[in-house]
């Protein structure tokens, strides 16, 4: 399966959370900016400046918006404890992964001394895991399960990165996102 058959939204403004969600569900109609902005308003209805997105209204949504958006699709985001090895995850029972990584802020070619956060989805499609980072020109094949676990291990070595396991609510409830030997 080639990258051309994998749905991939590219970065526009600060909408990486929107792109991450649509890439994760492989559908451009999964979520819209209007929908995520409405979630922001519902999370903080009495705030003139919403703490869950960019002050400029260009996106930069936080994890609370992503979690609320996932709930619409009966899904959960489980924060993964990076002290554990990701090989404990039962990947056949999950929707995919969302990584939160530091991102430098640029205007043209000038790198500003601001640290932003960036959302990236990783998803298994037809037996192959893909990096669906909206900053990439096209999706990048990570590979099989072992290669993906190594990729995640490498990502989690950086203390500034966070991993969320995305699964259906019933999978979260019965802990079947974990391999049987790791379930409580």
User: What does pTM read for this prediction?
Assistant: 0.87
- Candidate list 8, 16, 19, 167, residue with the active-site label: 16
Number of compact structural domains in the chain: 1
Let me know: does 35 contact 18? Beta carbons within 8 Å.
no
Owning domain of residue 123: 8-179
Distance CA 53, CA 36 (A): 9
Whether 41 is in a domain gets the answer yes
| 88 tagged catalytic | no
CA dihedral for 143, 20, 2, 125, sign (positive or negative): positive
Is 118 a catalytic site residue?
A: yes
Catalytic pick among 8, 52, 118, 167: 118
Q: What is the pLDDT tens value at each position of the chain, 184 positions in all?
A: 566 689 999 987 777 899 999 999 999 999 998 888 888 778 776 766 655 565 555 667 789 889 999 999 999 999 999 999 999 999 999 999 999 887 755 555 565 545 567 899 999 999 999 999 999 999 999 999 999 999 999 999 987 899 999 999 999 999 999 999 999 8
* CATH number, position 13: 3.90.70.40
């Amino acid at each position: 399966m080639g990258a051309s058959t994998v749905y991939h939204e590219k970065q526009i403004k600060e909408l990486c959370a929107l792109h991450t969600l649509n890439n994760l569900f492989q559908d451009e109609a999964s979520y819209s900016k209007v929908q995520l902005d409405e979630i922001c308003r519902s999370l903080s209805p009495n705030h003139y400046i919403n703490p869950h997105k960019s002050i400029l209204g260009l996106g930069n949504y936080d994890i609370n918006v992503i979690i609320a958006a996932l709930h619409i699709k009966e899904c959960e985001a489980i924060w993964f404890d990076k002290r554990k090895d990701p090989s404990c995850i039962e990947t056949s029972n999950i929707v995919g992964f969302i990584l939160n990584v530091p991102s430098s802020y640029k205007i043209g070619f000038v790198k500003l001394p601001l640290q932003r956060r960036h959302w990236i989805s990783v998803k298994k499609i037809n037996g192959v895991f893909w990096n669906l980072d909206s900053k990439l020109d096209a999706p990048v094949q990570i590979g099989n399960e072992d290669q993906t676990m190594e990729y995640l291990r490498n990502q989690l070595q950086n203390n500034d990165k966070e991993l969320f396991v995305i699964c259906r609510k019933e999978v979260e409830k019965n802990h079947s996102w974990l391999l049987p030997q790791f379930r409580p």
